[in-house]
Amino acid sequence: MNQSAARGTSGNKPRRIIGFDIDGVLTDEMVDGKNIWQREIEAYFPGIRLLEPDFAFTTAFGLSWEEVDRFMEEKAEEVFRKVKPHRGSREFVRFLQEAGFTVHLITARFPCYDKVTREWLACHGFRPDGLWFTDGKGALCKELGIELFVDDCYENCLDVRDHGVTALLMTAPHNLDRPEEKGIYRVSSWEDIKACVLEYYGLSGWDRGQMPGITAL
């Protein structure tokens, strides 16, 4: 998937712009082998169980939109506050920024979660160059000049790819059955993301001896 060591320029310096989703990419939603949202929904709705892995709660649990809205209104901020970052995510994002990359975070969360999102990011040491709330990730990636974007939603990866941006699909239960597509590359960890990013920019040997140790947060 190697493209070019300098996809754009700013003055005489390479301009490298990369984007990440938050939920399921920066955040590690698995707690003791169960998705944190599944755990919270099953506790909130006694008797409700996972029907099938799916990005939409209506499909995954057979909930009505009204039930989903009620659950999100009462529990979403709590989940957003207590979810942990993926192992290695903070270190690599910081590493990229120190190396001159511009890092945007693009989430499908509603804008009403701006405050809790920013507080969580600050608490865990993330300082993105841009934070955006939108469903239209492909168009925004193109507008921002993003060259590589990471998401766990297959449909978002298709959208991003269709706007000329290379997509990395973070493996999750809800996307395991999705087919391979040109311009979309599957990753399963932040070690995979790191390898793909460095390969994409032709920097595979660039960080030897420089990458901070990856630790659980």
187 Cβ contact list (under 8 Å, min separation 6): 150, 168, 169, 170, 171, 193, 196
Q: What is the pLDDT of residue 205?
A: 60
Is pLDDT of 201 > 60?
yes
36 with 22, same domain: the answer is: no
Is pLDDT of 11 > 70?
no
Binning pLDDT at 50, 70 and 90, where does residue 15 land? confident
100 with 185, same domain: the answer is: yes
Q: How many domains does the chain have?
A: 2
137 with 168, same domain: the answer is: yes
143 with 38, same domain: the answer is: no
Q: Are 76 and 69 in contact (CB under 8 A)?
A: no
185 with 90, same domain: the answer is: yes
CATH number for the domain harbouring residue 95: 3.40.50.1000
Provide, rounded to the nearest whole percent, the portion of the chain with pLDDT above 90.
Answer: 76
Full domain range(s) for residue 12:
8-29+86-200
117 with 94, same domain: the answer is: yes
96 with 195, same domain: the answer is: yes
Calculate the average pLDDT of the chain.
88
75 with 49, same domain: the answer is: yes
Binning pLDDT at 50, 70 and 90, where does residue 22 land? very high
171 with 105, same domain: the answer is: yes
92 with 155, same domain: the answer is: yes
Whether residue 36 lies inside any domain: the answer is yes
Q: What is the pLDDT of residue 207?
A: 53
Binning pLDDT at 50, 70 and 90, where does residue 31 land? confident
What does pTM read for this prediction? 0.86
Average the pLDDT over 159-171 and give the result.
Answer: 97
Q: Are 187 and 170 in contact (CB under 8 A)?
A: yes
Whether residue 206 lies inside any domain: the answer is no
46 with 78, same domain: the answer is: yes
Of the residues 82, 98, 119, the one at which a domain ends: 82
Instruction: Please list the alpha-helical segments (H only) found in 57-113.
Output: 57-61, 65-82, 89-98
Average the pLDDT over 128-154 and give the result.
Answer: 97
101 with 76, same domain: the answer is: no
Average the pLDDT over 146-175 and give the result.
Answer: 96
Binning pLDDT at 50, 70 and 90, where does residue 14 land? low
| AA identity, residue 17 | I
Q: What is the pLDDT of residue 30?
A: 87
CA separation for the pair 147, 133 (Å, rounded): 19
